[in-house]
């Protein structure tokens, strides 16, 4: 690794000040499970001049209820979320998503804030020594379009001229389905508006903006999260799905369904939600909803197999809310 500066921030204000001082030449580090790997492999064209350590800021690691709202600090470890009874009982989709993220050791290090802000896993983007200067790095092309796109988007691309790398988070679709709000040092953002695709960015965060907490409203109903990966432990998802369902007299009165790892950002399946409203969560109801979820799929040359997997994930997530 190359030399870099290191700032142990004592407060969020101090961290923001350091980020402003360095501009886009600095990076925030918490658990470091994503960032350190990128630095060791020299994935990006520009190496950070400084890391702003926010683990030294007190008060950002918590899980508590405030007026019925579940609040989670940005530095809360994934393992703590996965095993917390309040999260498991009131927001099961998030607890299961945290539990299915990576390995036990990584969950003991990785934070919820880092998990939703993590970078893409495309093997062209992640190739060591910046071997492929792709669109997400300000280069001229997406190598996956004509190359190996087995794990890329089945719902089209983004970024000018098209980037098809998928968003890799497990907790992100749960937060979208649960209608969470993400609070930063500057503003409050609904989870479904938090994710963005641009050069070397996966969120709407500005260079001097840091996630501080996540708030989830009370869920009147049930939620579930399912994941398909080659290995149950450690692997990133090939497809995952979270659903939050409100029931009335055995019929669905409200639904939020979000797929991930199938698009450049978490993919809210609005058509699937519309298809299940007013129906029972039975085989016929979930089949029509799952079919609607993938009706607009546009798979690439090597990833058509992901379409039936996505359909199956929607069905299983909905049945998990029964």
CA–CA gap between residue 200 and residue 213 (Å, rounded): 23
Of the candidates 206, 200, 178, the residue with the CA atom closest to the CA atom of residue 191: 178
CA neighbours closer than 13 Å in the CB half-sphere of residue 120 = 34
Question: Which DSSP helix (H) or strand (E) runs through 194?
Answer: helix 191-194
Contact (CB, 8 A) for 12 and 185: yes
Contact (CB, 8 A) for 245 and 221: yes
pLDDT in tens, 198-225: 767 899 999 999 999 999 999 999 999 9
Contact (CB, 8 A) for 112 and 118: no
pLDDT in tens, 69-120: 999 999 999 999 999 999 999 999 999 999 999 999 999 999 999 999 999 9
DSSP state of 320: T
Q: Which residues pair with 27 in a beta bridge?
A: 51
Q: Considering the entire predicted model, what is its pTM?
A: 0.96
**pLDDT of the residue at 158:** 85
Farthest CA pair distance, the chain? 62
**pLDDT of the residue at 272:** 98
Asked if pLDDT for residue 290 goes beyond 70, the answer is: yes
Mean pLDDT of the chain: 95
pLDDT in tens, 241-252: 999 999 999 999
148-153 — which CB contacts under 8 Å span 24+ positions?
148/123, 148/302, 149/300, 149/301, 149/302, 149/303, 150/302, 150/303, 151/121, 151/122, 151/238, 151/261, 151/303, 151/306, 152/122, 152/300, 152/303, 153/262, 153/263, 153/264, 153/300
CA–CA gap between residue 128 and residue 259 (Å, rounded): 29
Asked if pLDDT for residue 160 goes beyond 70, the answer is: no
DSSP state of 13: H
**pLDDT of the residue at 201:** 85
**pLDDT of the residue at 234:** 80
| Beta-carbon contacts of residue 183 (< 8 Å; ≥ 6 apart) | 189, 211, 212, 213, 214, 215
Asked if pLDDT for residue 174 goes beyond 90, the answer is: yes
Give me the percent of the chain exceeding a pLDDT of 70: 99
pLDDT in tens, 17-38: 999 999 889 999 999 999 999 9
């Amino acid at each position: 690794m190359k030399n870099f500066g290191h700032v142990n921030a004592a407060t969020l204000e101090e961290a923001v000040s350091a980020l402003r001082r360095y501009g886009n030449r600095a990076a925030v580090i918490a658990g470091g499970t994503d960032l350190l790997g990128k630095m060791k492999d020299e994935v990006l064209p520009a190496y950070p001049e400084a890391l702003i350590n926010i683990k030294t800021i007190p008060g950002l690691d918590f899980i508590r209820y405030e007026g019925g709202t579940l609040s989670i600090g940005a530095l809360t470890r994934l393992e703590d979320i996965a095993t917390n009874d309040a999260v498991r009982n009131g927001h099961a989709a998030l607890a299961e998503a945290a539990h299915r993220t990576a390995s036990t050791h990584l969950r003991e290090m990785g934070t919820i804030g880092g998990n939703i802000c993590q970078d893409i896993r495309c093997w062209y983007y992640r190739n060591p020594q910046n071997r492929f200067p792709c669109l997400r790095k300000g280069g001229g092309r997406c190598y996956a379009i004509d190359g190996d796109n087995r794990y890329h988007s089945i719902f089209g691309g983004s970024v000018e001229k098209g980037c098809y790398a998928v968003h890799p988070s497990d907790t992100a679709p749960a937060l979208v389905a649960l209608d969470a709000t993400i609070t930063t040092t500057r503003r409050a953002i609904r989870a479904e508006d938090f994710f963005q695709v641009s050069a070397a960015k996966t969120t709407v965060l500005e260079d001097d903006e840091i996630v501080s907490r996540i708030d989830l409203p009370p869920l009147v109903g049930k939620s579930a999260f399912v994941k398909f990966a080659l290995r149950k432990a450690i692997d990133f998802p090939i497809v995952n799905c979270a659903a939050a369902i409100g029931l009335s007299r055995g019929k669905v009165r409200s639904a939020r369904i979000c797929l991930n790892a199938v698009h450049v950002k978490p993919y809210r399946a609005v058509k699937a939600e519309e298809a299940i409203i007013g129906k029972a969560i039975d085989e016929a109801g979930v089949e029509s909803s799952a079919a609607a979820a993938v009706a607009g799929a546009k798979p690439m040359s090597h990833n058509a197999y992901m379409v039936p997997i996505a359909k199956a994930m929607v069905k299983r997530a909905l049945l998990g809310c029964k």
